[in-house]
Structure 1
Amino acid sequence: MNDNLINEFYGIGIQNGKTPENLGVLWRSAQNLGASFIFTIGNRYAKQACDTHNAVKSMPYYHYDTFEDFLRNLPKGTRIVGVELHADAKPLETFHHPRRCVYVLGAEDHGLSKQAIEKSHFLVKFKSQLSLNVAVAGSIVMYDRATSKPRV
């Protein structure tokens, strides 16, 4: 087995998710695009029809009550990649994904918290006329990761 694959993982989740439907769609994409785990920060997951593959039972799911709780429980060496329309965010098109990371998305109505933005090792954004649905945005990021770009 390739040693790089053993040392490589990623998780994806939503901070203060607005609707359970978005979580289900994001998690189905996470299962299809190779995420190692899924998580929420703030609001709790509730089963819904959008998670037709039952991803929450097919891959590890973590819930953190607060962002501080999330930070305390990250695996050592994990980089935080915030997905946010922010002036300091790097374009996804040229971003090299870390080998070991978590992607944190915010709810459509509020985005990431100030603390999440400040604690992120990287911020990424991609070209879009308007803010996208959180499940769509997360799926785009995971698809980009699945391409043959080198990892850092």
Structure 2
Amino acid sequence: MTDPAAGTPGAQAGPAPEVGVGPWEGPWPEGEQWDPELLAHGDRRNVVDAYRYWTMDAIVADLDTRRHGFHVAVENWQHDLNIGSVVRTANAFLAQEVHIVGRRRWNRRGAMVTDRYQHLRHHAGVEEFVAWARAEGLPVIGIDNFPDSRQLETYDLPERCVLVLGQEGPGLSPEMHAAAEVTLSIAQFGSTRSINASAAAAVAMHAWVRRHVFGQPVG
């Protein structure tokens, strides 16, 4: 006998539940962070509940008071489609900035609008990027599986640094590899040579968070 709850093959699914909250109920709150349009019509954005009904500028200003000490950079020589996902993850882990090295244009669809809340900076090339990092006193740490790479899992990431990802396929450019203080590889156990660039970025950022937010020792 068919389970009625399972439905029938080819049956139309119901409408997806709405994200967020509807119009504010009751007297409106006071404060510059509140957005009158959102209070009146509801807030359907992909933001945490603490930021419901806040203006975008107010959210960014609040995030700026507690951003972490790491930056993320991505080389963009061939219009890498992973950059949007990297930006989204950088927002989730509260990176200081995301740096695009190479081509200025990138596909923002994967960022899911998080680029509005995440600081972005463009560098025309590796030399310009490295000069900026040195001026800021930030070590450049490459994430790639070169023969001279050290293990991310056992490396003590500095609190202030720039984690640099190459683009999908070729990985870090020779110029970026040479400029990096160290390159770190992510342990892999299957048959593939490498993992997706955006996945590698997420692993590297989370390694920083484990070390400097939760104080977990490396090794």
TM-score w.r.t. length of structure 2: 0.61
Any stretches of 5+ residues in structure 2 without a counterpart? 1-65
| Greater alpha carbon shift after TM alignment, 121-130 vs 63-72 | 121-130
Once the two structures are superposed, the pairs formed by residues 3-152 of structure 1 within 5 Å of their partners are 9-16=69-76, 18-52=78-112, 54-74=113-133, 75-128=135-188, 129=190, 130-147=193-210, 148-149=215-216
- In the TM superposition, residue 33 of structure 1 has moved relative to its aligned partner by 1.0
Structure showing greater relative contact order (alpha-carbon pairs closer than 8 Å, 6 or more residues apart): 1
RMSD of the TM alignment (CA)?
2.3
Letter in 2 for 1:64: H
Letter in 1 for 2:115: V
Letter in 2 for 1:38: V
- The CA distance in 1 between the partners of 2:173 and 2:203, in whole Å, is 21
The structure carrying a bigger strand percent of its residues is 1
Question: Larger Rg: 1 or 2?
Answer: 2
- In the TM superposition, residue 56 of structure 1 has moved relative to its aligned partner by 2.1
Identity of aligned residues (%): 23
Deviations 1:27-48 (A, max 9, x none): 1111111211101111224353
- The CA distance in 2 between the partners of 1:114 and 1:35, in whole Å, is 25
Matched residue count: 146
User: Residue 21 of structure 1 contacts residue 49 of structure 1 at CA under 8 Å; is this kept in 2?
Assistant: no
Letter in 2 for 1:81: I
**Aligned-partner SS, 1:50:** helix
Deviations 1:75-94 (A, max 9, x none): 42201000111111111110
**Aligned-partner SS, 1:108:** coil
Letter in 2 for 1:73: W
- The CA distance in 1 between the partners of 2:164 and 2:176, in whole Å, is 8
- The CA distance in 2 between the partners of 1:17 and 1:9, in whole Å, is 26
